């Protein structure tokens, strides 16, 4: 729906210019100390998990407290195959660390500019509000991908250093080669990144509502926590399939043989719906609001 | 976009403001429309996809039952959704602690043991995957959150693999097929076979139209008890029109409400599953538990050998509550009545189970779950679920059946 607006732009703007805007946004975002700190925390999680599992299993015992199967998914398989650390790390960071990082970046996207007084200068340039919003959203989505890949690459490195690699067993009990395992790990990372675009759109919408970057970040992260808590309350089971976090852990279905697509499809559909609803709400808000700062 | 944007910043005058206010509001129509379209899609697509009952040639109940019996599907793979609502009291954590307490001392507590694992099916909604390739190769997987529990039967090996705890259970050859039977039924076919075993002159069997199950045309077979007093309302089996394979099994209680057991394919294919599906080698580092045939297990096997569909339901509380041992250890089991109203009578010879030996806090807790009843037989406690009721008299007799409370009391009175 917002495409139409891009076309409707008064002055013809070369696509290169849009690309320049996006590149500009990306360098600004990824150069911030805040962003780098977030990525460092995300990279640290697999290191912690890997070292903890290594120490715990140093005496030959199995992780996860024996037959209990506690802890994040796949944790009991890490000692046998370092590749599983990728899945464990993503399962451990997806409920909170990753969306929190997205919430911070997305919440800051518009409100941060308004807060710093740079928003109106951005709008003075021949960008147009819709285009600026799309650029901001693209930046946040690319950050989702970058954050997920940081976790995955860090986990793979730690896994390769601390544990053996090789052919792996899917959770259905069948064997796949290491190359196919790596392929699935990449696919899982992409699915995890895609799982976050709903939160990204929500954060962007919140960001258009306020002129305070901190307020937008806090609201987004607060919403995230609230939804996660509501998702645990059994009485709300009728609503839960519509919570953006409900199908997040379905990425594990990619490790079944054959892959069980039902929940994965539901997850991606739900994320697309959230992106469409909150993206268009952000557009409605941002293109009509008075920019005073 | 640009003119609008600059327009807003330089707006002056009443008329302009009103116009821009209206235009502002109009923009919010977009997200609202998206929500509306999504809601409509979610609401309508299932209704549209349900393209009505398929037109199939008429068939009698007898022909349909023969079709099921003749059905010789050797290759099959699919996804089964199974919901069970036995109306068991929600024991929560207590149930599992009792279970692990009962299971671990003599069985090594492997979470990959099929018998302990598949009793989970007795409550809630589960997604299963089944794959068959001839009598030698079967696989049944229980899909869990980010984990899976699989039982693979390939030739002379039976493997159970719990990916959550990375534990493997290994059973051997000769026990293979028997083993399968011992497990609670999971596929619609298992359920249908159990139900058809119960068909005799106390049962009415009719063909109740057609339906679409997992994208295939199917006949609906309706099985109903003729006698009153049974808690079973009706059993519906959807049978694939082409292959005669039962695709969906629904058991509704006489008391109304949601189905007690609802098991059906959501996706099914009659092609040969990939051979690798049935290949299983224990993953590196997995804890492997070899099957041990303990005496208790042998008795349990014997007890469940003569099982019907009702026995399955009975099996569940048995494993869940500690009553299991009391039931399993008995050989003086009699049956009263026939057909759907059959009642199993056990004589524990001692005191009533809940108030007696189990004793202490557990006894009191068990009593709080049941209702006190009195009759000519004396007094006792009735434990009810939505399907199976059990009367435990104070002199230690146990009456169990898929019948109403009154029928149990009547049976107890008659037994006196």
Q: Mutating which of B29, B31, B104 best tests the A interface, going by the most A Cβ atoms within 10 A?
A: B31
Any B CB within 8 A of A125 CB = no
Is A259 domain-assigned? yes
Asked if A99 and A196 touch (Cβ cutoff 8 Å), the reply is yes
- In the predicted model, what is the mean pLDDT of residues A197-206? 94
Instruction: Tell me the chain A residues in contact with residue B127 when contact means C-beta distances shorter than 8 Å.
Output: 260
What local confidence, expressed as pLDDT, does residue B158 receive?
Answer: 86
Shortest Cα–Cα distance, A31 to chain B (Å): 29
- Residue A235 has, within 13 A of its CA and on its CB side, a CA count of 0
Are B238 and B337 within one domain?
Answer: no
| Tally of domains within chain A | 1
Burial class, A136, CB count within 10 angstroms (exposed 0-12 / middle 13-18 / buried 19+): buried
Q: What is the mean pLDDT of chain A?
A: 86
> What pLDDT does residue B98 have?
46
A14: closest CA of chain B, how far (Å): 15
Say if residue B202 is in the same domain as residue B225.
yes
Closest residue of chain B to A249, computed from CA coordinates: B146
| Chain A residues lying within 8 Å of B161, measured CB to CB | 173
Q: Is residue B298 part of a domain?
A: no
Least confident segment among A228-232, A263-267, B236-240, B393-397: B393-397
Which of these ranges, A251-265, B66-80, B295-309, has the smallest mean pLDDT?
Answer: B295-309
Cα–Cα nearest to A119, from A30, A26, A35, A213: A213
Option in B31, B127, B283 nearest A281 (CB): B31
**Is residue B45 located within the same domain as residue B65?**
no
- Domain annotation covers residue B316: no
Residue A154 scores a pLDDT above 90: yes
Residue A3 lies in a domain: no
Residue A184: inside a domain, yes or no?
yes
What one-character DSSP code corresponds to residue B221? E
Q: What percent of chain B clears pLDDT 90, i.e. is strictly above it?
A: 0
CB contact under 8 A, A67 and B167: yes
A28 Cβ neighbours under 8 A, 6+ residues apart:
none
For residue A281, name the pLDDT band (cuts at 50, 70, 90): very high
Residue B363: its pLDDT value, please? Answer: 57
> A residues 167-186 near B, CB within 8 Å?
168-169, 171-175
Find the range with the poorest average confidence among A138-142, A192-196, B150-154: B150-154
Judge: A9–B8 Cβ closer than 8 Å, yes or no: no
Domain extent for A129: 29-57+72-288
- Which range among A218-232, B54-68, B75-89, B111-125 has the greatest average pLDDT? A218-232
| Last residue of one domain, picked from the residues B235, B260, B290 | B290
Q: How many CB pairs under 8 A join A and B?
A: 137
C-alpha closest to that of A280 among A142, A141, A137: A137
Angstroms from B132 CA to nearest CA on chain A:
14
Q: pLDDT of A26-81, one tens digit each? A: 998 888 898 999 999 999 999 999 999 888 876 655 554 444 445 677 887 888 88
A277 within some domain: yes
Task: Give backbone dihedrals phi and psi of A270, rounded to 5 degrees, phi first.
Answer: -65, -40
Residue of B nearest to A279 (CA): B31
Q: What is the DSSP letter of B403?
A: B
To the nearest whole Å, the CA of A279 is away from the closest chain B CA by 8
Q: Are residues B111 and B137 in the same domain?
A: yes
Tell me the mean pLDDT in the region B310-330.
38
Q: What percent of chain A has pLDDT over 90?
A: 49
Query: Six-digit token pair at B250?
Result: 């629904």
Both B228 and B286 in a single domain? yes
> Quick check: is B318 in a domain?
no
- Inside any domain, residue B87: yes
| Mean predicted confidence (pLDDT) in B386-403 | 82
Residues B13 and B66 in one domain: no
Query: Across residues B40-47, what is the average pLDDT?
Result: 78
| Inside any domain, residue A138 | yes
Beta-sheet pairing, B147-154 with B389-393: unpaired
User: 221-260 in A: which are within 8 Å (CB) of B?
Assistant: 249, 252-253, 256-257, 260
Check whether A252 has a pLDDT greater than 60.
yes
8 Å CB contact between B204 and B216? no
Q: Is the pLDDT of residue B122 over 80?
A: no
Residue B18 lies in a domain: yes
Rg of chain A over Cα atoms, rounded to whole angstroms, equals 21
Tokens 């169990």 belong to which residue?
Answer: B400
Predicted local confidence at residue B366, as pLDDT? 62
- Using the predicted structure, report yes or no on whether residue B383 has a pLDDT greater than 50: yes
CB contacts under 8 A, A 16-75 vs B, are 62, 64, 66-69, 73-74
Lowest-confidence segment of A230-234, B98-102, B324-328 by average pLDDT: B324-328
- Assess whether pLDDT exceeds 90 at residue A218: yes
Residue B144 has pLDDT above 80, yes or no: yes
Per-residue pLDDT of B187-207, as tens digits, reads 777 777 777 776 677 778 888
User: Do residue B134 and residue B239 come from a single domain?
Assistant: yes
Mean pLDDT of A266-278: 93
ipTM: 0.75
pTM of the full predicted structure? 0.75
**Whether B333 contacts B400, CB under 8 Å:** no
A interface mutation test: which of B5, B46, B90, B96 has the most A CBs within 10 A?
A: B5
Average pLDDT taken over every residue of chain B: 71
Residue B405 falls inside a structural domain: yes
Q: Do B34 and A77 count as a contact with CB atoms less than 8 A apart?
A: no
Containing structural domain, residue B335: 330-415
Is it the case that residue B352 has pLDDT exceeding 80?
Answer: no
**CATH code, domain with B172:** 2.50.20.10
φ/ψ of residue A35, rounded to 5: -60, -45
Residue B180 lies in a domain: yes
Per the domain annotation, does A65 fall within a domain?
no
Cα distance between residue A165 and residue B43, in whole Å: 47
| B209 vs B189: CA distance, rounded Å | 19
Co-location of B179 and B152 in the same domain: yes
Residue B177 has pLDDT above 80, yes or no: no
Q: For residues B195 and B213, what is the distance between their CA atoms, to the nearest angstrom?
A: 19
Instruction: State the CB neighbour count (10 A cutoff) for residue A23.
Output: 12
Q: Are B128 and B226 found together in one domain?
A: yes
* CATH number for the domain that contains residue B345: 3.30.310
Asked whether residue A53 is domain-assigned, the answer is: yes
Do B83 and B132 reside in the same domain of the chain?
yes
Answer yes or no: do B164 and A77 touch at CB < 8 A. Answer: no
Nearest chain A residue to B24 by CA: give it: A288
Counting the structural domains of chain B, the total is: 3
Task: Provide the pLDDT for residue A69.
Answer: 44
Together in a domain, B135 and B270? yes
pLDDT at res. B49:
65
Predicted local confidence at residue A90, as pLDDT: 92
- Give the pLDDT score at A6: 44
Predicted local distance difference test score (pLDDT) of residue A7: 43
Q: Are residues B159 and B284 in the same domain?
A: yes
In a domain, B310, yes or no: no
- pLDDT exceeds 90 at position B233: no
């Amino acid at each position: 729906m917002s495409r139409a607006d891009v076309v409707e732009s008064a002055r013809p703007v070369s696509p290169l210019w849009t690309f320049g805007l996006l590149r500009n946004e990306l360098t600004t975002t990824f150069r911030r100390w805040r962003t780098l700190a977030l990525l460092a925390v995300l990279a640290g999680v697999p290191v912690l998990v890997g070292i903890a599992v290594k120490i715990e299993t140093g005496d030959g015992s199995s992780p996860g407290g024996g037959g209990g199967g506690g802890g994040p998914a796949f944790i009991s398989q890490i000692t046998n195959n370092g590749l599983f650390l990728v899945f464990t790390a993503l399962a451990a960071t997806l409920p909170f660390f990753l969306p929190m990082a997205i919430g911070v970046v997305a919440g800051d996207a518009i409100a941060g500019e308004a807060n710093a007084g740079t928003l109106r200068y951005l709008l003075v340039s021949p960008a147009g509000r819709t285009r600026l919003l799309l650029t901001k959203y693209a930046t946040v989505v690319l950050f989702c991908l970058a954050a997920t890949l940081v976790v995955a690459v860090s986990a793979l490195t730690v896994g390769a250093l601390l544990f053996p690699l090789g052919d792996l067993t899917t959770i259905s009990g069948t064997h796949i080669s290491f190359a196919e395992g790596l392929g699935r790990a990449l696919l899982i990372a992409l699915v995890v990144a895609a799982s976050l675009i709903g939160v990204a759109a929500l954060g962007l919408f919140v960001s258009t509502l306020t002129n305070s970057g901190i307020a937008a970040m806090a609201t987004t992260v607060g919403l995230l926590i609230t939804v996660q808590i509501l998702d645990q309350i059994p009485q709300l089971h009728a609503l839960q399939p519509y919570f953006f976090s409900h199908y997040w852990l379905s990425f594990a279905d990619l490790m079944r043989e054959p892959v069980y697509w039902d929940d994965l499809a539901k997850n991606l559909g739900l994320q697309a719906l959230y992106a469409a609803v909150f993206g268009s709400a952000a557009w409605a808000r941002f293109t009509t609001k008075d920019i005073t700062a | 976009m640009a003119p609008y944007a600059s327009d807003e910043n330089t707006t002056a005058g009443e008329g302009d403001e009103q116009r821009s206010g209206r235009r502002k509001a109009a923009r919010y129509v977009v997200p609202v429309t998206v929500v509306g379209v999504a809601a409509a899609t979610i609401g309508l697509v299932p209704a549209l996809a349900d393209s009505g009952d398929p037109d199939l040639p008429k068939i009698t109940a007898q022909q349909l039952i023969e079709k099921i019996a003749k059905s010789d599907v050797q290759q099959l793979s699919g996804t089964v959704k199974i919901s069970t609502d036995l109306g068991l009291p929600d024991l929560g954590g207590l149930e599992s602690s009792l279970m692990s307490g009962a299971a671990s001392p003599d069985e090594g507590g492997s979470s990959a043991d099929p018998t302990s694992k598949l009793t989970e099916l007795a409550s809630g909604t589960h997604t299963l995957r089944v794959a068959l390739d001839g009598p030698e190769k079967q696989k049944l997987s229980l899909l869990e959150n980010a984990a899976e529990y699989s039982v693979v039967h390939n030739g002379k090996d039976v493997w159970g693999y719990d990916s959550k705890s990375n534990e493997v259970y290994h059973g051997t050859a000769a026990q293979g097929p028997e083993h399968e039977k011992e497990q609670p039924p999971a596929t619609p076919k298992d359920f249908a076979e159990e139900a058809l075993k119960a068909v005799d002159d106390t049962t009415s069997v009719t063909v109740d139209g057609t339906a679409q199950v997992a994208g295939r045309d199917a006949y609906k077979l309706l099985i109903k008890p003729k006698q009153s007093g049974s808690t079973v309302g009706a059993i519906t089996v959807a049978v694939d029109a082409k292959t005669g394979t039962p695709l969906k099994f629904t058991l509704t209680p006489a008391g109304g409400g949601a189905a007690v057991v609802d098991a059906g394919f959501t996706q099914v294919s009659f092609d040969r599953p990939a051979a690798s599906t049935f290949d299983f080698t224990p993953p590196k580092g997995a804890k492997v538990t070899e099957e041990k045939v303990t005496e208790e297990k042998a008795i349990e096997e014997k007890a469940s050998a003569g099982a019907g569909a009702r026995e399955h339901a009975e099996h569940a509380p048995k494993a869940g509550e500690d009553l299991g041992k009391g039931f399993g250890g008995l050989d003086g089991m009699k049956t009263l009545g026939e057909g759907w109203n059959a009642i199993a009578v056990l004589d524990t010879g001692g005191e009533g189970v809940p108030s007696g030996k189990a004793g202490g806090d557990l006894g009191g807790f068990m009593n709080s779950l049941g209702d006190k009843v009195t009759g000519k037989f004396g007094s006792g406690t009735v434990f009810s679920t939505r399907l199976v009721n059990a009367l435990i008299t104070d002199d230690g007799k146990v009456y169990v059946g898929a019948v109403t409370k009154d029928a149990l009391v009547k049976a107890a009175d008659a037994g006196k």
